[in-house]
Amino acid sequence: MPVITSQFRSPWWMPGGDLQTQLPVLLRWQFPLGETILIPTRDNDQLSASWYKSNSSPFNRLVILSHGLEGSNRQHYILGYIDYLQKNGLAGQQVDILAWNLRSCGSPENKTYKVYFAGSVNDLDDVIQWAEAVGYQEILLVGYSLGGNITLRWLGEQGANATNRKIKAVCTASSTVDLKSTVDKLDLIRNLFYRLYFITSMKCRVKKKAKEFPGSIDLSHFSKVNSFNTYDEFLSAPMNGFANAEELHAAASSLNLLHNISVPCLMVQAKNDPFLAENSFPYNIARDNQWLTLEVSQSGGHVGFLSNRYQWYLDSRFSTFLSSVL
């Protein structure tokens, strides 16, 4: 599919990718309430999720939302899109929505020592299996940031089989499709704020799990963890069965599988995203894959996309794309 130059524009008073990333967190307030459910995993753990059921025909169409790094299904962009879908539906019909939590995120937490990582593809697969078992005939996937990478990785692994899994279309935003370049960029001095915020939160999460499950997590190198690369090297990689950070990044990145995508898929990326490096803009892959549309905007930040018309662009853009497929 062609690479699209986005028509999105940020407000004049919100210059730069950092402001466009950070201010939307404070400016967006919607609080739809769903039914809390627990989805079993193949390794006897559980994933918590919020299920928003509409008044339409039972179990016909479901949108599955995947959140980003250190987030949950209560993130502003997740709740905002839920509110938008509940008010507007898709293709003239109401739609059910499932917003799930990556392991150790949200409430209630999972029941083992495991925490999420950038390649938590099996967990998304378990969520989709749940949706299939419930009886949904049309499943639409939406992923943000790290959740976008997980979604695209799953989609690439499935290839043509995605249609057999009832997947009709996919949308992602600010997807960290090349983990190595993303981690390296976040470890730069200019991104010190993000590094301190996320690494502190991630270390607290792991330390809490280690206390709850003594002997399950190796904390011998805990004091050395002061960056995204060292977090992956000393914590995330060994916790998830990888030899080192390099192996984890290669195995978890979706970039090298994007060519396998075989259902309509929209990727929205912003050039001024402080998280994304050049490799996260797969122009050539999109040009060679009829199913993949890459939309690149000049501004928007990381999962920000508040427009100069004071509208949340991703909500309307995603719904337009998904409705066009349905």
Nearest-5° Cα angle at 310, 173 to 15: 70
Q: Please report the domains of the chain, with CATH numbers, ordered by start residue.
A: 4-178+259-320 (3.40.50.1820), 179-252 (no CATH)
pLDDT tens digit sequence for 76-104: 999 999 999 999 999 989 999 999 999 99
Taking every pair of Cα atoms in the chain, the longest distance, rounded to a whole number of angstroms, is 55
Give the pLDDT confidence score for residue 239 in this predicted structure. 96
pLDDT at 56: 74
- Angle of helix 245-252 relative to helix 179-186, nearest 10 degrees, comes to 130
DSSP conformational letter for 280? G
- Confidence at residue 213, expressed as pLDDT on a 0 to 100 scale: 97
At 1 the pLDDT is: 66
Give tens-digit pLDDT for 42-76.
999 999 999 999 987 677 999 999 999 999 999 99
Residue ranges of the chain whose pLDDT lies below 70: 1, 57
Give the model's pLDDT for residue 291.
97
Q: What Rg do the C-alpha atoms of the chain give, in angstroms?
A: 19
Q: For position 185, what pLDDT does the model report?
A: 98
Q: Tokens 């002997």 sit at which residue? A: 215
Identify the CA nearest to 175 among candidates 62, 72, 265.
Answer: 265
Cβ atoms within 10 Å of 111's Cβ, excluding its own: 14
What's the rounded Cα separation, in Å, for the pair 307 and 299?
9
What was the pLDDT predicted at 58? Answer: 79
What pLDDT does 9 receive? 96
- Token pair, residue 277, equals 């490096």
